[in-house]
Structure 1
Amino acid sequence: TFPLRIWTYIGLAVAGVAFLYGAWMIFDTLAFGNAVRGYPSLLVSILFLGGIQLIGIGVLGEYIGRIYIET
């Protein structure tokens, strides 16, 4: 089940990096007044949602793997 579990970790990493970058953009805007253009915020939202999807795929894969082992 390790190949199935790795997608959960990849999803957590992608979502975590996107969250940290989004937090940095918010901090940079509030602290220094730098305007954020549309592309970085679009990138953050796409990466974050993609990470959440990978987490879901990993959870489903883990569930299916355990069902397969039990049968």
Structure 2
Amino acid sequence: MSHKRLSCRQTAERTGLSEFTLARYRAQDRGPSFVRVSRNRVEYLEDAVEAWVNARTVRPSTEGAAA
């Protein structure tokens, strides 16, 4: 398990979301788990970001695939 922390900018780059969207998700209790380092700074645990992205990964169904 990695305890590496990512900045909002790094998290935005990895998820494809904007920093604004990440802030909105934090306010709505959505998105990856984060650590409030200070009043004006949050960081994300790398493992939590990866788990959040993986949980939203849609795998194509084999149903309907041409054989």
TM-score when normalising by structure 1: 0.32
Where relative contact order (Cα < 8 A, 6+ residues apart) is larger, the structure is: 1
Which has the greater radius of gyration?
1
TM-score when normalising by structure 2: 0.33
Structure that is richer in strand per residue:
2
